[in-house]
Amino acid sequence: MSYAWRALKQGETDPKKSYRAQMLGETYKFAVVLGGFALVFLGYRELAALPLFLGFAVTVVVYWMALLKTRN
């Protein structure tokens, strides 16, 4: 919800401000993901990092591929 609030401000007509809001929303989302990974690694010290990151990367790639496929 916070991303949508930051990125999609109601009534914004200036493209530069809209782009800046999108970038701030993405930055916030990236920081939340990094914080989540940090919490997982602190809570589960025996966790294997490589499979976790590979699973995350595959999920992101599949998500973006599905979005691109729906646009065509």
Chain centre to alpha carbon of residue 2: 12
Tell me which residue range forms the domain holding 63: 2-71
Q: Is the pTM of this model over 0.75?
A: no
Within 10 angstroms of residue 26's Cβ, the number of other Cβ atoms is 13
Number of domains making up the chain: 1
Read off the pLDDT of residues 30-59 as tens digits, 9 standing for 90 and up: 899 999 999 999 999 999 999 999 999 999
User: Which pLDDT does position 42 carry in this prediction?
Assistant: 93
Rg, Å, the chain Cα set: 16
